[in-house]
Amino acid sequence: MNKLHRIEKDFLGEKEIELNKYYGIQTLRAKENFNITKTDISLFPNFIKSLAKVKKACALTNYELGDLTDIQKDAIVQACNEIIDGKFHDQFIVDPIQGGAGTSTNMNANEVIANRALEILGHAKSSYNIIHPNNHINMSQSTNDVYPTAIKLTLHELIYKLKESLRFLRDCFEEKSVEFKDVLKMGRTQLQDAVPMTLGQEFKTFAVMIDDDIFRLRNAQSHLREVNLGATAIGTGINSKAAYQRKVISNLREVTGVDYVAAGDLIEATQDTGSFVHISGMLKSIAIKISKICNDLRLLSSGPRAGFNEINLPPLQPGSSIMPGKVNPVMPEVVNQVAFEVIGADMTIAMASEHGQLQLNVFEPLIAFKLFNSINMMRRAFYSLGEKCVKGITANEEVCMNNILNSVTLVTCLNPIIGYEKSSAIAKEALKTNKRVYDIILEQKLFTKEELDELLRPENMVTNLSKDAK
């Protein structure tokens, strides 16, 4: 044996492990077998910390039940605390997408914690007769309850961060709605002129849309507090003591500071991934709405000479390798692409959930990978959109006003007074003659100039026009 390696054994054989590595033979086998994403689970530090929190709660419970000694418990808890504090994350090397329903990830955690605990006690790594990855770190557990519980802990924390990014983006739009409250512009339906509004109202709508999603996320988050820890293999609690399940949930609450509760039916909870599907659906809904907002920003800023040109997005970089002076709406474009990725991930998660069979869904690694990636991308995208785009938006007030004055649909505001038929005739003539609605009404002597000016004051057109005006 190389002096820089140690030998570990399992029922499949032996492998050499580098002496300075805390993982063991099962982790190394998984690393060799699953070279899929070219990343590892250390990509998700919150997830690694969640695994350590679950293992800590389990160790405390097993100690309370008399199945771990003081020395074992203290070493295991210290190792878990160190991982929770961000240490040894580089030892979590298995690919996020893996066969085995997450067993490789669970064993990676078991081996790292065991070997670090042994080191704390002054023993050589792999001295598993003292602290064993399966017998002690995984005591009273199965991947099938540890893994989904750790996913839920992670999602609970990540959603808090996602809500923070959404609040930031909402506030950016809210600030712009106040700034643009007096900027009059033409509203549009089906890309056609509709009726006047203010740019502030348009941006206020964006803020309200986002605020609705923050509220819905809060409700969706509550579904994650129900966990199946203590279910062990399929939900029957095999290999754990009668008091274990109640005590481990209590310890999990103590370790995390979150009011986690035991699932009402552990067999159902072990195979059902419905809460993950629900969260994914929420992420898709948010992505769709933010993408729609980005589409609007791109349209409103289009041009600048041959488009809407009602707003200016902050210029971030040259937009063309061939067209000098061109600046593209790159930040809304990249957020659109993040949305497409999240929408696609939702379909992947739906398929992975539907393909679960009998007492377990073996595709939870893919579900977790997609959920974690979606939330992380969305969070970064929303901060970037707010900071690099929305905060720097300016209004082209003259363009907005000219669009109102030149629009045929200005006559819509007179519908309650002169009726739909007469309004339609005026609109038709305006289109045919290329005259302004305003001028046609004066020519037909429907109102005096003073009356018409009062009726068509733009600030009056963004609220209800009283029929009493006539």
pLDDT in tens, 246-260: 999 999 999 999 999
Compute CA distances 354 → 144, 179, 278, 351, whole Å.
17, 48, 13, 5
Domain boundary among 395, 416, 432: 395
Going by C-alpha positions, the residue among 85, 251, 225 that lies closest to residue 159 is 225
Instruction: Give the residue from 112, 139, 166 where a domain finishes.
Output: 139
317: in domain = no
One domain, residues 116 and 165: no
Give me the pLDDT at residue 268, please. Answer: 92
Largest CA distance in the chain: 104
Using 50, 70 and 90 to split pLDDT, how confident is the model at 463? low
In a domain, 254, yes or no: no
Judged by average pLDDT, the poorest of 9-13, 258-262, 296-300 is: 9-13
Count of domains in the chain? 3
Residue range 286-303: average pLDDT?
96
CA–CA separation, 154 vs 369, rounded Å? Answer: 11
Domain check: are 391 and 454 in the same one? no
- Whose CA is closest to 378, among 329, 349, 345, 353? 345
Clarify whether residues 368 and 436 are in a common domain.
no
More confident: 370 or 14:
370
Q: Domain with 417 in it: what CATH number? A: 1.10.40.30
138 C-beta neighbours (distance < 10 Å), count: 22
Using an 8 Å Cβ cutoff, are 437 and 445 in contact?
no
Condensed to tens digits (0 to 9), the pLDDT of residues 365-417 reads: 999 999 999 999 999 999 999 999 999 999 999 999 888 877 787 777 778 88
pLDDT tens string 213-240:
999 998 888 889 999 999 999 999 899 9
316 φ, ψ (degrees, to nearest 5): -105, -30
| CATH number, residue 376 | 1.20.200.10
171 lies in some domain: yes
Burial 81-92 (b: 16+ CB within 10 A, else e): ebbbeeebbebb
- Comparing 171 with 191, the larger pLDDT belongs to 171
Residue 467: predicted pLDDT? 41
Does any domain span residue 144?
no
Rounded Cα distance between 252 and 146, Å, is 11
Residue 424 pLDDT > 80: yes
Q: What is the mean pLDDT of residues 67-85?
A: 97
73 and 208 housed in the same domain: no
Total-model pTM: 0.90
320 catalytic? Reply is yes
Percent of the chain topping pLDDT 70: 97
pLDDT digits (tens, 9 = 90+) for 179-198: 999 899 998 989 888 888 99
Among 353, 372, 395, give the residue marking a domain's end: 395
Query: Based on the domain organization, do 175 and 303 belong to the same domain?
Result: yes
Q: Is the pLDDT of residue 328 over 50?
A: yes
Q: Mean pLDDT across the chain, nearest whole number?
A: 91
Among 344, 334, 352, 350, CA closest to 374: 344
What type of residue sits at position 5? H
Give the domain extent around 108: 5-139
Are residue 391 and residue 412 in the same domain, yes or no? no
Is the domain of 67 the same as that of 125? yes
Residue 233 belongs to a domain: no
How far apart CA 88 and CA 350 sit, in angstroms, is: 33
241 domain residue, yes or no: no
Residue 315 forms part of a structural domain: no
Is 268 domain-assigned? Answer: no
Q: Which of 380, 423, 413 is nearest to 168 (CA)?
A: 380
Radius of gyration of the chain (CA): 31
Residues 188, 115 share a domain: no
Q: What is the pLDDT at residue 465?
A: 41
Closest CA to 315 of 299, 300, 326, 303: 326
Residues 88 and 210 in one domain: no
Kindly report, residue by residue over 19-73, the tens digit of the pLDDT: 999 999 999 999 998 999 999 999 999 999 999 999 999 999 999 999 999 999 9
Backbone angles phi, psi at 56, to 5 degrees: -65, -45
Please calculate the CA angle 386-391-393 and round it to the nearest 5 degrees: 115
Same domain, yes or no, for 362 and 388? yes
What band does 429 get if pLDDT is binned at 50, 70 and 90?
confident
CATH of the domain at 96: 1.10.275.10
Q: Which of 222, 320, 424, 466 is catalytic?
A: 320
Are 79 and 156 in the same domain? no
pLDDT value of position 466: 38
Token readout for 300 is 């409103």
Check residue 421 and give its pLDDT.
Answer: 87
Query: What three-state secondary structure class fits 318?
Result: strand
Residue 325: exposure state from Cβ atoms within 10 A (0-12, 13-18, ≥19): exposed
Are 17 and 133 contained in the same domain?
yes
Give residue 468's pLDDT.
42
Number of CB atoms found within 10 A of residue 109's CB = 32
| DSSP 8-state symbol, 357 | B
Q: How far apart are CA 407 and CA 14, in angstroms?
A: 80
